Structure 1
Amino acid sequence: MVSASGTSLLLAVPAAVVGAACMGLASAAQARATKEVEVSRILDPGLLRGLAHRPLWLIGMVATGAGLALQLVALAFAPLLVVQPLLITSLVFANVIYSRLERRPLDRVMVAGSFICIAGLAAFLVVARPSGDSVGFSGTTKPLPLAFALATVTVVALVVAVLFHGSVRVLGLAVATGILYGVTAGLMKAVAGEAREGLAEPFQNWTLYLVCIIGPLGFLLSQNTFQQGQFLTPALAVITALDPLVGVGIGVWWMGETANTTTWALAGEAVAGAVILVGIMLLASRAEHLARAQAGLDSGVPRTAPETSEGTV
């Protein structure tokens, strides 16, 4: 016989995975569409006006709505610390779908880097052993330290994105996007908890309105990130890794959820984080290699050590 908590997971886990597939489709479609419009300034709403006329981008928007709805369903039945990390599988879905949109084979190194990121996060979950099912902010936590840290990193990332160009700019945009996405997910968890008390309850609290500000800002930044980056996978890896990790921090620091914090657990979590970084670095270096190879083709210079399986995913 399945327990009540088991029943909740049977609902939450499929919702989270299907939601990740929808978000992967959204990322791939939106990234492809951003290449079809004029490059805009960071946080310029004009980018969205241009994209609104692209059918592929509209498909991505529908997929985004479906993904967010499924994420909300999952968060209503399981802890933030369980649901958020499952969403990193959107990276694999985005890889496959984007390669099909570009009509290119999957690049083996990019796929390997994606799986390394997912493996690192899976290891983090096993070691951290997240638990708890909070429905709102805990009065026993101290939210200011984490809030200050997240705000500081976001501002620094945006400054870097403004001052620099190329891959450094994309990295800054991706970091800021991932943080805003993670904060949005944490706030959505609180909104889901408020909705349990009545459909009108979220409208009487500040959380929903903050979601309506931070969520769109994160989305606009994501479109800037896709447009500025030559390749989808490295930037998306940063976003999809930071999103659940920030969600984990919010679950523990703001909502009173728990995780294993013994000395050995913290060491294991640090190793898992290092694995995620290795995956991201592999993706970034591969993107640089493919960019140089493409530049050589464009200039008429043959590539060195060509590989038939290379694709720009």
Structure 2
Amino acid sequence: MTALAIMFAVISACCTAIGVHLQHQGVRDEAEASQRGPRVARRVLRNRQWLLGFGTLFTCAVLQTVALALAPVTIVAPIVVLALPATAILNAHTSRKRLDRVATTAVIASAGGIAVFVALASRTATAVAFSPSSVLLACQIIAGTIVLLGVSAALRRGIVRCVLLASGAGAGYGLLSILARDVMYTVQIGGWADVAPVSVIGLVVAFAVGSWFIQLAYASGPPDVVVGCHTVLNPLVASGIAIWLLGEAPAASTWTAVGMVCAGLVAIGGVVQLTRHHPQVRRAATQA
């Protein structure tokens, strides 16, 4: 079952790059064609590229949910980072702005760091039932984080605003993985009657807020920077909550935990370097 879950998660991650590219192009086209505000939102919702991207990402979300029903969060969630190199390659091809050596190394570091994280996590992660009180605490922690990042983003512009919004989306999507796993596992064990209301409500809110933050981030930066931020934060948040708050890896040794932390830091460092050396970001800084 775990191998099947990984297969679904890999397909979802690769297709995410296509959906992200389509939505990013739709948002940027409409933002440039009209003033910012409600008018842009209405135009985006009618944009064919954006709608096609939404359909693609919705399919990816279904595949991700199926994967979460078959394997622990700690194994499935990190695989989404494969969307980063796929998006970087697609964006470089369409924009004709190739990544330089540092940016390419940053993408490889992020993907490699998460790959090591998954390898370590898969050795100790086991499917467990999440208690409603722990899920509620996770929702409160992530909600506070998202509010802080959202307020900070509202006060900034350009690539910093993009990174803050994409990070907020990553935190929201990380919680989304936890809640989706909680709902699917509970249904498998006891049926829909045993599903905690907080998980269902949190699932809807996390998806809505994460999606909104992503759209706002598209308007402020290149798609691979957006994907880099939220696909790295997403699995780190999901796995961190699953392991240290919800007890999904009770047998993890100290050295395994240290290795996972180091791998996560490498992945985050890769994203930081990508935001500094991305050709579109450097071009914008030169023109400013």
Q: TM above 0.5, one fold?
A: yes
Q: Does the 8 Å CA contact 1:26/1:61 hold for their aligned counterparts?
A: yes
Q: Is residue 112 of structure 2 the alignment partner of residue 119 of structure 1?
A: yes
Determine which of 40, 61, 73 is the counterpart of 1:80.
73
**Equivalent position of 1:133 in the other structure:** 127
Q: Is residue 158 of structure 2 the alignment partner of residue 166 of structure 1?
A: yes
Paired AA for residue 132 in structure 1:
T
- Summarize the alignment of residues 275-286 of structure 1 with structure 2, pairs less than 5 Å apart: 275-286=266-277
SS of 2:68 mapped into structure 1: helix
- Summarize the alignment of residues 16-31 of structure 1 with structure 2, pairs less than 5 Å apart: 16-31=9-24
Paired AA for residue 276 in structure 1:
A
CA spacing shift, 1:291–1:145, aligned 2, 3 Å: same
SS of 2:104 mapped into structure 1: helix
- 4+ residue stretches of structure 1 with deviation over 6 A? none
SS of 1:131 mapped into structure 2: coil
**Equivalent position of 1:266 in the other structure:** 257
Q: How many residues align?
A: 285
SS of 1:36 mapped into structure 2: helix
Larger Rg: 1
Identity rate, percent: 27
**Equivalent position of 1:220 in the other structure:** 212
Q: Does the 8 Å CA contact 1:13/1:83 hold for their aligned counterparts?
A: yes
CA spacing shift, 1:293–1:72, aligned 2, 3 Å: closer
**Equivalent position of 1:11 in the other structure:** 4
Bigger Cα displacement from structure 2, 215-224 vs 103-112: 103-112
User: What is the Cα-based RMSD across aligned positions, in Å?
Assistant: 2.8
CA distance in 1, matches of 2:40, 2:272: 29
Q: Deviations over 1:194-247 (max 9, x none)?
A: 332587548884422321222111101101011111x22223211100101111
Q: Is residue 29 of structure 2 the alignment partner of residue 36 of structure 1?
A: yes
- TM-superposed CA distance for 1:149, in Å, is 3.7
Note the residue ranges of structure 1 that are not aligned, 5 or more in a row: 1-7, 300-313
Q: Does the 8 Å CA contact 1:37/1:50 hold for their aligned counterparts?
A: yes
Paired AA for residue 125 in structure 2:
S
**Equivalent position of 2:48 in the other structure:** 55
**Equivalent position of 2:60 in the other structure:** 67
Q: Does the 8 Å CA contact 2:78/2:117 hold for their aligned counterparts?
A: no
- TM-superposed CA distance for 1:262, in Å, is 3.5
- TM-superposed CA distance for 1:249, in Å, is 2.1
Determine which of 160, 164, 171 is the counterpart of 1:179.
171
Paired AA for residue 85 in structure 1:
P
Q: Is residue 229 of structure 2 the alignment partner of residue 238 of structure 1?
A: yes
In terms of fraction of residues, the more helix-rich structure is 2
